Amino acid sequence: MRPFALKCKVNGLDMEREIPSSRSLLDFIREDLGLKGTKEGCGEGECGACLVLLDGKAVNSCLMMAVQLHGKELVTIEGLKGKDGGLHPLQKTFMEEGAVQCGFCTPGLIVASEALLRRKPDATLEDIKQELTGNLCRCTGYEKVLSAVEKARDERNA
Ligand code: FES
Ligand code: FES
């Protein structure tokens, strides 16, 4: 099978690369680009560990093919930064609120939360809970995660 000539933007940088057309987006991110912050949990669209932003929308990269990235902009957890180039506000509030334990789910939770706050800057607690229903976390019990997202929302809107 002939390789596919992929053109896209990844974390702010233009990229051109030949890839097998059968490559999953998740494998492309983790194995080809070496961006290991995006996690593989279930591999079936159930856990949210593999979430990335595609043209600003949160998508499960385990359910997509890399060719679907053509002409689009991908942002992974590594590409989320604060205005000063340091930690993103959600990364800060997750740390401050103790919303990270083993951390496996954290990139997906932050990507989902960022997608929500971009779409709905005044998201309510219910909106946040609804958005994060697709993100499984075995460690935190979610309370601190919700506090962290609310805190980031409030700081963003201050
Ligand atoms: S690894 Fe993609 S949703 Fe679980
Ligand atoms: S912090 Fe361990 S799975 Fe969420």
Q: What is the pLDDT of residues 88-139, one digit of tens each?
A: 999 999 999 999 999 999 999 999 999 999 999 999 999 999 999 999 999 9
Q: What is the pLDDT of residue 2?
A: 82
Instruction: Read off the pLDDT of each residue in 56-72 and give the average, rounded to a whole number.
Output: 98
- Are 57 and 117 in a shared domain? no
User: 102, 111, 146, 149: which to mutate for ligand 2, most atoms within 8 A of CB?
Assistant: 102
Q: Which ligand is nearest to the CA of 59?
A: 1
**Domain containing residue 103:** 89-157
pLDDT-based confidence at 1, cuts 50/70/90?
confident
d(CA 1, CA 95): 46
d(CA 23, CA 38): 16
Query: Residue 10 pairs with which residues in a beta bridge?
Result: 13, 74
User: 36, 52, 60: which to mutate for ligand 1, most atoms within 8 A of CB?
Assistant: 60
Listed in sequence order, the residues at least 6 apart from 3 whose beta carbon sits closer than 8 Å to its beta carbon are: 18, 19, 20, 21
Check which CATH number belongs to the domain holding 8 and give it. 3.10.20.30
Q: What is the pLDDT of residue 22?
A: 95
Does residue 149 belong to any structural domain of this protein? Answer: yes
Q: Which ligand is nearest to the CA of 48?
A: 1
The residue type at 37? G
What's the pTM? 0.97
- Are 9 and 75 in a shared domain? yes
Residue that is last in its domain, among 55, 79, 103: 79
